[in-house]
Amino acid sequence: MEMKVMTALAIITPLFLHHLSFTIADHTRAFSNSSAGFSLPIFAKQSPDRTIRRGTDGFLYLQHSLSASAANITTVGPVDDRLHLTEVHFGTGDGRRKLLLELDATAPLTWIQCIPCHPVATQTGPLFDGELSPTFQHVHSSVCTPPFHPDPTIHRCQFSISNPMGLLVQGLLSVDQYTREDGLVFPRFFFGCVHETHNFHNINTFAGIFAYRKFAVQAMANRLTRSSYCLFRETNRQGFLRFGTEADIPHKPHYQTTRILPANDVHESAYYVSLAGVSVGERRLSGVRPEMFARRKDGQGGSIIDLGTPLMEIVEEVYHVVEEAVWSDLERYGAERVEQAGYGLCIQATEAIKGRLQSLSLHFAEEEATLVISPKQLFLMMDNKQAGQIACLAMQVDTRFVYDLKDNKLSFAPESCIQDTVPVV
């Protein structure tokens, strides 16, 4: 099937791949028997030549001067501005490593670059070396199940992961000790040890991918049925990805709730929701129909909440309808459109026009829940060499998401996410 271009507009990400997953019989035993809530750190990350700050007007400002004549790219949201990372500790003894991993809500497997790795992407700190960790083991080929591939010659379990952006990683399914920041040890944590990477665009920083859903499944096996996060963009702050019970992560009265759809099969690696439509301001867009977001039995299509990116993505067919609605409204007030490489709709950000920016609302089916994205959440301010200060349709931050896996529900509400952060030490 031909892949559609993905454009930066919604945190609901239509999927066009049937994602790889895995079934290892005892993978839920990675956690200890403790059912106490805990959190993982979250860091916002941009490329080294970009920083984002919050202005006194409440908008986010990208500190980087880009040429409007730069080369075109295939997405309307630069990959460098999409990242949220977490920090993990793998291994024991001389092999223990502190690693930064990109958070990914759709990844089928947590994986890291391991020695030897050819070709290898430069990362922060040394590569993980299983030979130095006395607790490290490869998963034996005798317990290898599809979609993994047993290699009887080396008695190990191989995997290969790819994506539409050209990423290809290959390696061996492994198990080792994972240690949380609070010192609690998970003695059997399954992950992929990658020995070959292609097009792994890690901005020379992170060592691999942290598979959020797979981690949440393991937490749920220890009665930690809820998880929560609130995305932010300040790179000098640390947020939290929380796991716990209803007591640790309560449902607040102002939350709106939608249903997490049942999985098509055991290999599914993302949480799907049912999106029904979009509004700009108070106007429901008739050109955006529920079938545009429909999920098919073959695993194609559908909509998910993507933890990994604060930029918003939506299928091109929907994006064009939304972009035209936003632009037609702003054009009436004299807005001037600007071509900015890497983005869709950008306009000159005069004070008058900033006051005319409208919210975007995502409407969910059944419960009639609506996720309202304010202009200060939706538009990213930046400088353009030709046009001066511009505003681009790009961001999604300052929303609290709570997953309840016991009742299969997703709740959300606006929140100042910076309030749930601490300074990066």
Say whether pLDDT at 195 is over 80: yes
Maximum average pLDDT range among 13-27, 67-81, 192-206: 192-206
Architecture of the CATH domain 15-50+64-242 = Beta Barrel (2.40)
Rounded average pLDDT over 161-166: 86
Say whether pLDDT at 301 is over 90: no
Q: How confident is the model at residue 346 (pLDDT cuts 50, 70, 90)?
A: very high
Rounded average pLDDT over 377-403: 83
Which conformational region is residue 419 in: left (phi greater than 0), alpha (psi within -120 to 50 degrees), or beta? alpha
Choice among 234-238, 274-278, 309-313 with the minimum mean pLDDT: 309-313
Return d(Cα 288, Cα 400) in angstroms, integer: 25
Contacts of 392 (CB under 8 A, 6+ apart): 340, 343, 344, 345, 346, 379, 380, 382
Confidence at residue 299, expressed as pLDDT on a 0 to 100 scale: 66
Return d(Cα 142, Cα 156) in angstroms, integer: 8
Residue 71, classed as helix, strand or coil, is: coil
Confidence at residue 41, expressed as pLDDT on a 0 to 100 scale: 93
Q: What percent of the chain has pLDDT over 90?
A: 43
pTM of the model: 0.78
Comparison of pLDDT for 83 and 26, the residue scoring more: 83
Q: Cβ(221)–Cβ(28) under 8 Å?
A: yes
Q: How confident is the model at residue 398 (pLDDT cuts 50, 70, 90)?
A: confident
pLDDT tens figures, 14-36 = 333 333 333 333 343 445 545 67
Confidence at residue 253, expressed as pLDDT on a 0 to 100 scale: 84
CA angle 108–37–178, rounded 5-degree value: 50
Confidence at residue 72, expressed as pLDDT on a 0 to 100 scale: 28
Say whether pLDDT at 379 is over 70: yes
Say whether pLDDT at 312 is over 70: no
The DSSP code for 281 is T
Q: What is the 3-state secondary structure (H, E, C) of 319-344?
A: HHHHHHHHHHHHHCCCCCECCCCCCC
Mean pLDDT in the chain?
A: 80
Say whether pLDDT at 49 is over 70: no
Confidence at residue 57, expressed as pLDDT on a 0 to 100 scale: 74
Q: Which two tokens stand for residue 266?
A: 């055991």
Confidence at residue 109, expressed as pLDDT on a 0 to 100 scale: 93
Looking at the chain, the domain(s) classified CATH 2.40.70.10 span: 15-50+64-242, 254-297+311-423
CATH topology of domain 254-297+311-423: Cathepsin D, subunit A; domain 1 (2.40.70)
Maximum average pLDDT range among 43-47, 251-255, 366-370: 251-255
Return d(Cα 128, Cα 112) in angstroms, integer: 8
CA dihedral defined by 279, 106, 206, 192, rounded to 10 degrees? 180
Confidence at residue 71, expressed as pLDDT on a 0 to 100 scale: 28
Q: How confident is the model at residue 136 (pLDDT cuts 50, 70, 90)?
A: very high
pLDDT tens figures, 89-134 = 999 999 999 999 999 888 889 999 999 999 999 999 999 999 999 9
